[in-house]
Amino acid sequence: MIEAVMTAARRLMEALRAENEALARLDLAAAGPLARGKRQAADAFEAAYAAAHRSGAKAAGAERDAAEHMAVSLRDLTAENRRLLERAIDLQSRVIETIAGAAKPAGPGTYGARGRQREGRAGAVSVLSRV
């Protein structure tokens, strides 16, 4: 039972490392698809841990030392993943704000034909003709 937890922990650690590497490079196109695998690995780890806990399985000796080392590694990888995700979200927010700010007209004028800026705002025009 403990071996299943450790196998799931290794899989989760690998998923976190892969996503962290992509996020550290700010390669969001590569990081995005890795999130699904990370979620699946986290779910598998949670299920294995819950099953071991329900059965009362405990690691002993060298297996306990390895499990404790994995727990520390998972904690560190998870903290790094959170930091990198927060950085990526902050960066994306700033990019979106910059693009949105650039898309707004600078002042009261608007852009007309051929990209020339018109001053003021054109009102509605109505044409009525009688023949």
- pLDDT tens per residue, range 68-122: 999 999 999 999 999 999 999 999 899 888 888 877 765 555 656 666 665 555 5
Q: Name the region of 20 (left: φ>0; alpha: ψ -120 to 50; beta: rest).
A: alpha
Average pLDDT over residues 59-69: 91
More confident of the two residues 130 and 65: 65
Q: Which of the four pLDDT bands, split at 50, 70 and 90, describes residue 13?
A: very high
Q: What CA–CA distance (Å, rounded) separates 55 from 65?
A: 20
**Centroid of chain to Cα 105:** 31
Query: pTM to 2 decimals?
Result: 0.73
Q: What is the pLDDT of residue 81?
A: 97
User: Do the strands 117-118 and 110-111 form a parallel or antiparallel pair, or are they unpaired?
Assistant: antiparallel
